[in-house]
Amino acid sequence: MTDGRWIEVGDRVLVRRYEELDLSLGLVVGEEGCLVIDTGGDQTQGAEWAALVREVTPLPRQVLLTHSHFDHSFGTRPFLPCPVWAHRRCRADLAATGVEQRDKWARHYRESGQTDIGDRIAEVELVLPDRLVDDTADLDLGGRVVTLHHFGPAHSDHDLVALVRDADLVFAGDLVEQGAPPSFGGAWPARWPSVLDGILGLGTTTVLPGHGEPVDRDFVLAQRNELAVVAELCRAVAAGELAEDEAVRRSPYPAEFTRSALSRPAGIDAVG
């Protein structure tokens, strides 16, 4: 099932791009170890990804899950044994919803005629992260430190980004989307713009989305400003100041995405 292509985005920093879901997985190599950013959507994809990482480097691996959604976390089993990093609420969410996600997406792919992918998802053995982060953590790969940051709820309530300061780049997970609008299922639209402010505040030249091609700061700023419009529309609808249909008309995103955002909590203090 070999799929995808490599993009070298910095010194010993690579992104593996996949056609399915336009997924991007990351690899950061130090002198004594490497960090794998996200593991794919099933164990077959995860095993292939693990083998590709081994072709690049034989160094000990650590895994980072940027968030709990199946396409970023269901391929973890083939990487074990190794440390698996994630936000504390990522572990909690995988424990609470992992089986539901597995059943939902297996059914989705089978019903859409992609039974091979559906069957692979149905066979996933869920792995819970064992290295838990609340706000920040430094991972020393030997001669290179990757810093994990949680800036608050946005795409999920537990998104982590991975800053590679010496390569002037950051892996943003699904906090940044290239090639499609941001996904609001389970999201916190009111908080998302400030989280992107946090990413922009890191000052890196390059940002690596969880889906799509590498982007620059101008792209992130433009998406931040679009999300600010959506956040205000959510607030106005929740306050009874604007009809939902009018909010959809004013949105920078298609109706399906906007209605998903409008269905989410509009407050900014629902999650810490």
CA atoms within 13 A on the CB side of 49: 35
Q: Which pLDDT score is estimated for 259?
A: 97
Q: Are strands 161-164 and 169-177 parallel, antiparallel or unpaired?
A: antiparallel
Q: Which pLDDT score is estimated for 266?
A: 75
Q: How far apart are the first and last CA of the chain?
A: 41
Q: Which two tokens stand for residue 71?
A: 């396409």
Indicate the domain borders of the chain: 5-216
Q: Which pLDDT score is estimated for 157?
A: 96
Helix residue spans in 69-169 (DSSP H):
70-73, 88-111, 115-122
Element (H, E) at 87: strand 84-87
Number of H helices, E strands in the chain: 8, 13
Element (H, E) at 242: none
Cα angle for residues 222, 25, 171 (degrees, 5° grid): 45
CATH class of 5-216: alpha beta
Q: How far apart are CA 104 and CA 147, in angstroms?
A: 33
- The pLDDT profile of the chain, 272 residues, written as one tens digit per residue, is 446 899 999 999 999 999 999 999 999 999 999 999 999 999 999 999 999 999 999 999 999 999 999 999 999 999 999 999 999 999 999 999 999 999 999 999 999 999 999 999 999 999 999 999 999 999 999 999 999 999 999 999 999 999 999 999 999 999 999 999 999 999 999 999 999 999 999 999 999 999 999 999 999 999 999 999 999 999 999 999 999 999 999 999 999 999 999 999 876 555 55
Count of other CB atoms within 10 angstroms of residue 212: 17
Q: Which two tokens stand for residue 212?
A: 């799509």
Give the residues across from 206 on adjacent strands. Answer: 169, 216
- Tell me the C-alpha to C-alpha distance, in Å, between residue 85 and each of 9, 73, 173: 22, 11, 14
Q: How far apart are CA 68 and CA 157, in angstroms?
A: 10
Q: How far apart are CA 38 and CA 73, in angstroms?
A: 6
- Provide φ and ψ at 79, rounded to 5°: -85, -15
